[in-house]
A and B are shown apart, each in its own frame.
Chain A
């Protein structure tokens, strides 16, 4: 399988700020890879380096087997970017935004005449084709930015927080359509700080924090590697027998989390009327195990 993106020991600092310290990962063709990390982890900086918009301070970064900062025009045309902040043309209509963006890729009018309606349909924006961008909701703008990134039928689509700030319905639609893109064989790289989004969409996840990769792998592998498969959340006070079992536990204040291999060991101790939550371990548990639960303010 071809490697579309290969980052090795990537680093970038801005003055004294080490935005990216040491990041290595690769994105194989046709996979969806997620950079999962909190705000300030260095995700956007990594994306910008891949797009050739920011130069790495050190390390190497290849996109389509060429140096990312020296991609030629043809290779650049094969990458679609959904930036973190929407930068649509607010004074123009939805379809004009797409037509104009297509011109930057040298696409012909004939091609755009079929491509634009196709993408509007794909992103459920057909009804809004003539609406000015200023009239759109946040979710619609985001869908339009995604449609715009797809205008030249890119092989690689890079999405920086595609659903941040959107309501559940809008997120769901975007997830569905990104899944459809995956099925078409497109290579996707997305950043997110939503665990559910990463778990749902990504084949491989690279967990980043403080400009470094903490671990990477499929969601399943990551969970198996870092946390026991069963999670119980119990209200305090918790029966002392459970605490003595020596499970991995975390104090959440009013309640406690217990991670265990053997759920029966806990359930048999619990009184029948004790309210509790039993769920499989998920990425969030992995993430919090790796990065700690405390609130981090900059």
Chain B
């Protein structure tokens, strides 16, 4: 076999690469990579992002709504819609930050591949969090659009303010999942995460009714999961913005942010041990 040896341009650096490697470039590049993979599985992705949260809305909004009718002085559908939004984004961000991120880290060795390029682990984790938050936000927006279409959002303009707030909360949910993922040795590990974190959030954080209906110790658990804070900000924003006190909203937001930052730090600490043989 005497195939001629082809040549590649000797010094392609003459073509100046437009972007320079930077924090934003690295984060954007991995975000883009995740988007491409998501698009490569278009139909399962669409089902997960749109069909699932809308099924929840249908089942609880209309199903439960037919039984419960009123919640205070709003209709149950109006009451539950922000809860469904929160639950949808919480689930998506948690899933993407745990099981999906673990597949990239552990199964596909994507983190190893990227670390051989001039990208840091911190940039990888920020990209993962931003990506998980993006994906979660898509589901949240789907529910909000349906809510607008059926007239279940009394203050439609508030949706514009709610969307960035949801994104911020999703970043926090995602970094916490990344922190859990950083300790996983196998997929079985995530059954703890879903049993003791995702499911309690769904049940106790105020998606379907007020948290204060639970015994006190359950309320403590509920308020430790930042989805509770999120629901207590976005529900008044969409239903009765005038009832939301700035100080309360600030306090809740600080909790969400601190929770997310600490999670990111812990995730980074544990993953650098695992990836860099520390």
Question: Is A165 in contact with chain B by the CB < 8 A criterion?
Answer: no
Question: Is A272 in contact with chain B by the CB < 8 A criterion?
Answer: no
Choose the segment among B11-19, B180-188, B220-228, B263-271 that binds chain A (4+ C-beta atoms closer than 8 Å).
B11-19
Q: Is the CB of A110 within 8 A of B15?
A: yes
Question: Is B257 in contact with chain A by the CB < 8 A criterion?
Answer: no
Cα(A176)–Cα(B5), bound, Å: 7
Q: Is the CB of A87 within 8 A of B112?
A: yes
Residues from chain A with Cβ under 8 Å of B108 in the complex: 87, 89-90
A116 to chain B, nearest CB (A): 11
Question: Is A246 in contact with chain B by the CB < 8 A criterion?
Answer: no
Interface residues of A in 81-107 (CB under 8 A from B): 81, 83, 85, 87-92, 96, 100-101, 103-107
A192 to chain B, nearest CB (A): 19
Q: Is the CB of A92 within 8 A of B115?
A: no
Interface residues of B in 169-195 (CB under 8 A from A): none
Residues from chain B with Cβ under 8 Å of A51 in the complex: 116
Cα(A91)–Cα(B200), bound, Å: 33
Question: Is A257 in contact with chain B by the CB < 8 A criterion?
Answer: no
Given contacts A92-B36, A110-B18, whether A104 and B30 have CB atoms under 8 Å apart is yes
Q: Is the CB of A108 within 8 A of B18?
A: yes
Cα(A55)–Cα(B277), bound, Å: 8
A189 to chain B, nearest CB (A): 14
Cα(A152)–Cα(B119), bound, Å: 14
Choose the segment among A118-126, A204-212, A217-225 that binds chain B (4+ C-beta atoms closer than 8 Å).
A118-126
Which of under 10, 10 to 19, 20 to 34, or 35 or more describes the interface residues of B? 35 or more
Cα(A54)–Cα(B275), bound, Å: 8
Question: Is B217 in contact with chain A by the CB < 8 A criterion?
Answer: no
Cα(A64)–Cα(B119), bound, Å: 18
Cα(A109)–Cα(B28), bound, Å: 14
Partner of B6 from A81, A105, A121 at Cβ < 8 Å: A121
Question: Is A294 in contact with chain B by the CB < 8 A criterion?
Answer: no
B25 to chain A, nearest CB (A): 5
Q: Is the CB of B33 within 8 A of A89?
A: yes
Cα(A104)–Cα(B117), bound, Å: 6
Residues from chain B with Cβ under 8 Å of A176 in the complex: 3, 5
Interface residues of B in 34-55 (CB under 8 A from A): 36-37, 40-41
Q: Is the CB of B29 within 8 A of A96?
A: no
Partner of A104 from B3, B7, B20, B29 at Cβ < 8 Å: B29
Q: Is the CB of B112 within 8 A of A92?
A: no
Q: Is the CB of A88 within 8 A of B13?
A: no
Residues from chain B with Cβ under 8 Å of A118 in the complex: 8-9, 12
Q: Which of B17, B40, B117 gathers the greatest number of chain A CB atoms within 10 Å? A: B117
Query: Could you name 7 residue pairs across A and B whose Cβ atoms are closer than 8 Å?
Result: A91-B37, A103-B33, A108-B16, A108-B17, A108-B19, A115-B12, A121-B8
* Nearest 6 A/B pairs, CB to CB: A108-B18, A104-B117, A103-B29, A87-B109, A106-B21, A76-B118
